[in-house]
């Protein structure tokens, strides 16, 4: 099975430095095959026949061994991502000014995150709550700063419980995990 690890908050402003070539070697040392990294924000793809829970524990142990700071991550299989794509609303494929995907980190309270967002007034944006991520489209670039996304997200108490990828990176993730777009 093909998987993707989506790390959160690495290599931003000189903090939580993770060298992708070293991370690739660390993931390969766990016995995973066909390991590929994509950009410096912590996207790692690999193949494994292990159960997802086993992989999650292996990754947690490896991160604790090699890094002095916590490494939050989302772990998603190709099958899970395919199912997520099949459930997306039609509007997701429309041409929006900006699109972002907020992947839930492992073991977070998704209902709490969603309840918090539902309190915000959306302005010129659409949201879909998926099983593994929140899909957020901003409809007008000129009005971006008025969106709940721009005004509230970075200050939200759950901000560190998601790993965000923009629409273009999400498209690349689909390709690298082996899904047809």
Global pTM reads 0.94
| pLDDT, one tens digit for every residue, the chain (181 residues) | 999 999 897 766 667 777 788 989 999 999 999 999 998 878 999 999 999 999 999 999 999 999 888 888 999 999 999 999 999 999 999 999 999 999 999 999 999 999 999 999 998 999 999 999 999 999 999 999 999 999 999 999 999 999 999 999 999 999 999 986 5
Q: How far is CA 71 from CA 8, 14, 23, 45, 117, in A?
A: 7, 15, 12, 16, 24
Alpha-helical regions (H) of the chain: 20-29, 52-66, 78-87, 110-118, 148-152, 167-176
């Amino acid at each position: 099975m093909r998987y993707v690890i989506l790390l959160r908050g690495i290599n931003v402003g000189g903090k939580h430095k993770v060298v992708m070539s070293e991370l690739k070697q660390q993931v390969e040392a766990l016995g995973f095959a066909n390991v590929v990294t994509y950009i410096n924000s912590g996207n790692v793809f690999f193949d494994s026949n292990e159960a997802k829970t086993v992989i999650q524990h292996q990754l947690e142990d490896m991160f604790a061994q090699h890094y002095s700071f916590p490494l939050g991550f989302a772990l998603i299989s190709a099958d899970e991502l395919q199912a997520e794509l099949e459930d997306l609303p039609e509007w997701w494929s429309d041409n929006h000014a900006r699109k972002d995907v907020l992947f839930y980190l492992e073991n977070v309270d998704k209902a709490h995150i969603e309840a918090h967002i539902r309190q915000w007034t959306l302005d010129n944006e659409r949201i879909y709550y998926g099983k593994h991520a929140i899909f957020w489209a901003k409809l007008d670039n000129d009005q971006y700063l008025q969106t709940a996304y721009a005004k509230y997200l970075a200050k939200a108490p759950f901000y560190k419980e998601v790993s965000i990828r923009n629409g273009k990176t999400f498209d690349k993730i689909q390709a690298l995990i082996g899904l047809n777009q």
